[in-house]
Amino acid sequence: MTELRAIPTCEGCPIRLNAVCADCGRDELAALEAAKSYRRLPAGATLVEEGEIPSHFSSIVSGSATVTKTLKDGRRQYVGILLPSDYIGRPGRHASLYEVRTLAETLLCQFERGAFERLLDEVPRLAPRLIEMTFDELDAARELAVVLGRKTARERVASLLVSLARRSAKLRRPLSEADAPLTLHLPLSRGQIADHLGLTIETASRQMAALKKDGVIGGTTRDIAIPNFRRLLLEAGSEGNPPPGYR
Amino acid sequence: MTELRAIPTCEGCPIRLNAVCADCGRDELAALEAAKSYRRLPAGATLVEEGEIPSHFSSIVSGSATVTKTLKDGRRQYVGILLPSDYIGRPGRHASLYEVRTLAETLLCQFERGAFERLLDEVPRLAPRLIEMTFDELDAARELAVVLGRKTARERVASLLVSLARRSAKLRRPLSEADAPLTLHLPLSRGQIADHLGLTIETASRQMAALKKDGVIGGTTRDIAIPNFRRLLLEAGSEGNPPPGYR
DNA sequence: CGATCCGTTGAATTACGTCAATAGACGTGG
DNA sequence: CCACGTCTATTGACGTAATTCAACGGATCG
């Protein structure tokens, strides 16, 4: 799928316009160029362990990763899914509360933590962009809380598909209105979908099957066809029709 | 309860050491002083409406508020509870995705949005602190996702009590180890607890009753006694004992 | 003193979890 | 090419935690 061979320069970087560096000018970029390095990881690699103080701040150039919290008895919840241009890390010497693990082969653009903190002070357009992106992450986490707190299993699965479709097709045009067919490669197994949606693997599987039976989605296990995005959106439950039997 | 009469100066401000201004020096504080104003709201007041572009960025000096997302069919989820020193707002012209509403009479220290954005550029210790606090909010939202995705009703209620106890007794000392008795005034009704924990009012009420019956908590409806914090912590399910019957 | 709000409690219902068996998909080696 | 093991996904039958529906009790207030 994504080509990981070539180490891009910032100029030609695929995430140039969306990553934490997005707002930097040519001169500011030079400061980042000097400090950055690349790291390539296979699928299933642990990037950050829970409790670890990460040595680097990094951005996903290509690939994907999950942010996971695990209770001591083993219950797992994915609290984030990271796609290209998303960052991993937090300024300051904080132990990570999460495990970060690649879902696929992944290329990172990384900065040693101290160096990144210095850049935050020195490169004026970096901190505002980090603030902006962190607020977006906060919105995503709160949206997940709504999904987990208030939505049915079917709505959760539909919501995940909506979110992944929106993110992977980086819609400039409001996709919300598009009725045109659309395909989506799922980066997650059924078990991982369950870990993200607070469900069991069986329920995740059943709901995928039900959505398919009802014609909301098509395609294969990992490659989902969305014949009518608006329909999927309605199934996700954020758009106005109460689930059957809601008071 | 909290005294809202006196408008404090920054020097004597009760949230001086924890709010977004916490890292500012005496001189930086002067710039904030010049731009700030106060606003007092009764309980149940809407501070920000969903979809609105807020005109101000504000900090809670005293009181409390909820951050709520409502689905179009009326299902509600509190995605945050704000206590003194927490901020409300986001730099940039973003429509709020949430409703913010006071839980009790509340005093705000506020800045007109444009003025706050200028301060972010000009007062060096402001942006790093905002980043720090936003990451903390992100952690809280993700923690909530874990609670909503993976915990039982009893664990959810216990988790909320733990979180409120930790926050309201601004533990410098690790409260996690304290076995000493402790009291907590609940800022939330049973219905509001349910809205925060993704439960119904009946389930919230039943679980409170069950925790009381089992001696985990005592006190009255709104004033909770916690005879043994460690015990409550265990009930919250983050500390190692699987709930009965977990695979 | 009725009205309203909030909390509690009981009984019936249900969505999802649990347990269990089977079916594909994919790779390895004979 | 086929037999076999492994891993993931699917499907069925059953159990249960939480919801739903309903009734009631205790404050608070005009």
Stated length of chain B: 247
Using the predicted structure, report yes or no on whether residue B2 has a pLDDT greater than 70: no
Mean pLDDT of chain B: 92
Q: How far is B174 from chain A (nearest CA, A)?
A: 17
User: What does the pLDDT read at residue A156?
Assistant: 98
User: What does the pLDDT read at residue A171?
Assistant: 40
User: What does the pLDDT read at residue A175?
Assistant: 52
Tracing tokens 């008795």 back to the chain, one arrives at B181
Q: How far is the CA of B201 from the C1' of D22 (A)?
A: 14
Whether residue A100 contacts residue A67, with contact meaning beta carbons closer than 8 Å, is answered with: yes
User: What does the pLDDT read at residue B247?
Assistant: 43
Q: How far is A154 from chain B (nearest CA, A)?
A: 15
Q: How far is the CA of B121 from the C1' of C18 (A)?
A: 56
| Domains recognised in chain B with CATH numbers | 26-144 (2.60.120.10), 152-235 (1.10.10.10)
Cα B14 to its chain centre, rounded Å, is: 16
Q: Which residue has the higher pLDDT, B245 or B147?
A: B147
Whether residue A141 contacts residue B145, with contact meaning beta carbons closer than 8 Å, is answered with: yes
DSSP designation for B245: T
* Strand C nucleotides within 7 Å of a protein CB: 6-11, 15-20
User: What does the pLDDT read at residue B177?
Assistant: 54
Beta carbons within 10 angstroms of residue B89's beta carbon: 22
Decide if A241 and B73 are in contact by the 8 Å CB cutoff: yes
How far is the C-alpha of A67 from the C-alpha of A97, rounded, in Å? 9
Please write the tens of the pLDDT for every residue from B82-127: 999 999 999 999 999 999 999 999 999 999 999 999 999 999 999 9
Please write the tens of the pLDDT for every residue from A18-75: 999 999 999 999 999 999 999 999 999 999 999 999 999 999 999 999 999 999 999 9
Please write the tens of the pLDDT for every residue from A127-168: 999 999 999 999 999 999 999 999 999 999 999 999 999 998
Task: State pTM to two decimals.
Answer: 0.94
Q: State the greatest distance between any 2 C-alpha atoms of chain A, in Å, as a whole number.
A: 59
Please write the tens of the pLDDT for every residue from A163-211: 999 998 764 345 555 556 889 999 999 999 999 999 999 999 999 999 9
Position B172 confidence tier, pLDDT thresholds 50, 70, 90? very low
Decide if A138 and B137 are in contact by the 8 Å CB cutoff: yes
Position A244 confidence tier, pLDDT thresholds 50, 70, 90? low
DSSP designation for B228: -
User: What does the pLDDT read at residue B241?
Assistant: 57
Whether residue A232 contacts residue A216, with contact meaning beta carbons closer than 8 Å, is answered with: yes
Q: How far is A42 from chain B (nearest CA, A)?
A: 26
What three-state secondary structure class fits B141?
helix
Q: At a CB cut-off of 8 Å and minimum separation 6, what does B23 contact?
A: B125, B126, B128, B129
Residues forming a β-bridge with B65: B82, B102
Taking the C1' atom of every nucleotide in all shown strands and the CA of B44, the nearest one is C5
**Cα dihedral B168/B174/B175/B180 (nearest 10):** -130
Q: How far is the CA of A32 from the C1' of C22 (A)?
A: 55
User: What does the pLDDT read at residue A5?
Assistant: 57
How far is the C-alpha of B227 from the C-alpha of B152, rounded, in Å? 22
Beta strands B37-41; B106-112: pairing state: antiparallel
Token code pair at residue A18: 């969306």
Please write the tens of the pLDDT for every residue from B202-233: 999 999 999 999 999 999 999 999 999 999 99
